[in-house]
Amino acid sequence: QTGKFTYDPGFLSTASCNSTITYIDGDKGELLYRGYPIEQLAVNCDYLETCYLLLYGELPNESQKADFEDKVMHHTMVNEQMQFFLRGFRRDAHPMAVMTGLVGALSSFYHDSTDINNPEHREISAIRLIAKMPTLVAMAYKYTIGQPYIYPQNNLSYAGNFMRMMFATPCEDYKPNDVLVRAMDRIFTLHADHEQNASTSTVRLCGSSGTNPFAAIAAGVACLWGPAHGGANEACLNMLTDIQKQGGVARIGEFVSKVKDKNSGVKLMGFGHRVYKNYDPRAKLMRETCHEVLGELGLQNDPLFALAMELEKIALEDEYFVARKLYPNVDFYSGIVQRAIGIPVPLFTAIFALARTVGWIAQLNEMIGDPEYKIGRPRQLFVGATPRDVKPIAQR
C-alpha cells in the first residue's frame, strides 16, 4: 500500500478490520478505491475496469481488461431452473425480496463445487456473481411486468447488455443510447464499494463462518434493502415525488420544518452519512451524471431535479443541517438519473446491489484470503436481569 494513513487512537478501537480496498476520509469527503480517487475512476475507467481493480488491487492493462471482460461476459447466463424459482413470487413482489431469494438460490447450483478456502474457487465465484447479477435483476424486473426474459448478449458492454435485458422484448430489440449506457456504467462504478458499511460488514460476518459466497452475498442484499442504507435511493425519489405533488419548490420550507421537528420522524432521505461529515464525492458525480442524462433526453427542466437542487441549496444553508454536518449522499441524485434512464423506482436498490456485489465479494475474499481470519463473534454488555430462580407456574 503506498503511503501511510494515520488514525487517532479513538478511531482504532472502533475499526472492525484492516483492509487495503477502499479508503474514505469523511471529513474531507474523499473516497479512494485501491488509492485511486473515485472522481478519476468514474471519468477515466468503466465499471469492469473498476471491478478488476477492486478484486486484484491494480487497474488492468489492455490484455488483462479484455481477458477479464471475456470471462465476465461468458458467465452472464443463469441456470434455466432459476425461472421456476421466480414463479414462486407474487408478481408485485418487491424486487429486493426477489433478489434476496435469487442470489441465495444461486448457492444451490455452486455450493458443492465451491471451497471458499480455495483462491481459484473464490475467483470464479466473484466472476459468476459480477456476471449474473445484471441477468437476475433484469429477470426480476421482467417477471414483475409479465414480459418474457431477455437472454444476455455477450458481444455487448456490461452496462449495454444489462439495459438490453431490461428494455428489449422479443418483438423489438433495444438499441441502447450511448450516453445512457455510459451513465448506467458510471452509476455502477459509484456504488461499487464503500469500506465497512452495514451490508459489507454483514457479508464479512456471514462469510466468516465459511459459508459459500453466494449465501454471504444474499445476506448483503437483504441488509442493503433497508431505507437507512441502500433503500434510501427509492425512499428519496418517493420523498421528492411527494413534495412535488404537494406543491413542489413552494412547499420545501414546510417539508424542511417537518424534518427539523424531532417528533415528526421525517428524515431528508439521501442526506446524512455515518462517515461523511462533508459532501459525499459520489453525490457530486451523480449530480453531474444527472445533468448529462437529462440534457441528452431533453429533460433539462425535469421538475424533480430542480426540486432536488433547491432542496439541497436550502438544506446546506440551514443551521439544523449545517450544525449536524448533513450533506447529500450517494442516494440523493441517483434516483432521479435512474428514473430518467427508465429504471422503475422499486428497482433502484436492486441496481445498487448489482453494483455493490463486486465490493462485497472483494471484501469477503480479502478476509478469507487472510490466513489469520477467524469466524466473527461480536460480544455484548449484558444489562438484563441478575441471576434468579424459576418459580412454579402457580406462583408466577
Unique residue bearing C-alpha cell 448478449: 153
Q: What is the x/- site pattern for ligand SDX, positions 63-82, by CB under 6 A?
A: --------------------
Of 49, 234, 331, 366, the residue at the interface with ligand SDX (CB under 6 A) is: 331
- Using rule CB under 6 A, residue 274 touches ligand SDX: yes
Q: Among this protein's residues, is 273 annotated catalytic?
A: yes
- Using rule CB under 6 A, residue 106 touches ligand SDX: no
- Using rule CB under 6 A, residue 269 touches ligand SDX: yes
Q: Among this protein's residues, is 331 annotated catalytic?
A: yes
- Using rule CB under 6 A, residue 271 touches ligand SDX: yes
Q: Where do the H-state alpha helices sit in 150-267?
A: 158-167, 178-190, 198-207, 213-224, 232-245, 252-260
**CA–CA dist 51, 217 (Å, integer):** 16
Q: Which residues on adjacent β-strands are paired with residue 355?
A: none
**CA–CA dist 311, 368 (Å, integer):** 43
> Whole-number minimum distance, CB 137 to ligand SDX, in Å?
18
> Whole-number minimum distance, CB 23 to ligand SDX, in Å?
12
- Using rule CB under 6 A, residue 267 touches ligand SDX: yes
- Using rule CB under 6 A, residue 212 touches ligand SDX: no
> Whole-number minimum distance, CB 356 to ligand SDX, in Å?
7
- Using rule CB under 6 A, residue 228 touches ligand SDX: yes
Cβ neighbours of residue 134 closer than 8 Å, sequence gap 6 or more = 76, 152, 158, 161, 162, 165, 354
Closest CA to 181 of 194, 204, 162, 202: 162
Q: Select the span of 15-23, 205-213, 227-235, 239-247 touching ligand SDX (CB under 6 A).
A: 227-235
**CA–CA dist 23, 1 (Å, integer):** 11
- Using rule CB under 6 A, residue 326 touches ligand SDX: yes
> Whole-number minimum distance, CB 10 to ligand SDX, in Å?
16
**CA–CA dist 190, 40 (Å, integer):** 11
> HSE (CB half, 13 Å, CA atoms) of 100?
16
Of 259, 340, 343, 347, the residue at the interface with ligand SDX (CB under 6 A) is: 259
Amino acid (1-letter code) at residue 27: D
Cβ neighbours of residue 342 closer than 8 Å, sequence gap 6 or more = 166, 167
C-alpha cell at 169: 422484448
Residues forming the active site? 273, 331
Which residues of this chain interact with ligand SDX, rule CB under 6 A? Answer: 194, 197, 228-230, 232, 259, 267-275, 324, 326, 329-331
